[in-house]
Homo-oligomer: A and B are copies of this chain.
C-alpha cells in the first residue's frame, strides 16, 4: 500500500492534516479526505490542506506557475475556498517543510483568490482575508438561540461567506448560550449563515486596540473552537457599532485561543498562532486511486 506522510497542525484549535505534494503527484479525493479527517478510524481533523505548486493544480492556472497553492478540503470531502486559521498552519508548514521565507510576505494561491501570507515571528502568522462587506444599518436581522432570551438584533457581515453578529451584554450571557442547536435567524439567510455572539471587553489605554470575546455557530459544523472569517466579521461589526474613532485592531478571544484582526482600507488581516504538532505516516489504499 502507498505510504502517505503528513503533518498535523492547528491554529487556535482549528486542526488540519497537512500534505506536502509540490508536484501534484497525490491529488486528493473525497474518500481519502473523509478517511483522514475521521477522528476515530482515521487521523482526525477539521480539514485537509495539500500544499502544491500552482502549475500542478487546475485551480492555480491563473497564477504564476511556481506560486504555492493551498488546496483546502473540508472534513466531509467537499472543497472549500479558503480558511483563515488553515492559512496560518499552511504558512508554518511551508516554512518547516519547504524552507520558504514568509518574513516579508508571500503571495499564495487559494480557491478564494490570491492572499498574502506573512510570518510575524514567534509562531504567529497573518493572512489577508479580503474585504468585509457590511450593511448600511447597525442591525438588519434578529437571532434566537438556546439560552438567550429574548432574541437579539444582529448585523450582517460578508467575509466571502455570510455572517450574522450579535452583541451580548455580559460574559455570563455568552457562557449561558446553548449552541448545540443552530441559532435561528430572521430574515432567513438563503444559504444559511455563521452566527457569532460577542461581548466587548474594552480598549487599551491608547484607544487603538480593542478586545472582545466571541463564540460561533458555523453553518454545517455546529459550534467550533475558532472561526477565522467569524473573527473578522466580529471585529468589523464591533468597530461599526463603536462608531467613528473606534479601534481598527481587535484581539478576539475564541474558545481555542486568541486571534487579532486588523481592519485596513479594503482588506482585513487575520493574525494568530499556528502550531505543527506532530508528523505521521499512514499506509492507505483509500481514495488514492480516485475511487
Contact = CB atoms under 8 A, between A and B. Distances in A.
B256 A8 contact: no
A41 B278 contact: no
Interface in A250-288: 256, 275, 277-283
B278 A10 contact: no
Interface string A31-52: 0000000011111101000000
A218 interface: no
Given A13-B40, A14-B40, A41-B275, 17 more contacts: A8-B280, A10-B41, A15-B39, A15-B40, A15-B41, A39-B39, A40-B46, A40-B256, A41-B277, A43-B277, A43-B278, A44-B44, A277-B282, A278-B282, A279-B280, A280-B280, A280-B281
Identical chains in the assembly? 2
Contacts of A278: 43, 280-283
Task: Kindly state the interface size class of chain A when it binds its partner.
Answer: 20 to 34
Contacts of A280: 8, 278-281
A210 B44 CA distance: 34
A225 B225 CA distance: 23
Contacts of A46: 40
A281 B279 CA distance: 6
Contacts of A39: 15, 39, 44
A283 B280 CA distance: 12
A261 B256 CA distance: 41
Interface string A5-16: 000101001110
A15 B44 CA distance: 11
Closest 7 pairs between A and B when the two form their complex, measured CB to CB: A280-B280, A278-B282, A13-B40, A44-B44, A15-B40, A278-B280, A39-B39
A43 B43 CA distance: 8
A14 B275 CA distance: 27
A142 B146 CA distance: 31
A8 B225 contact: no
A290 B238 CA distance: 44
A50 B10 CA distance: 26
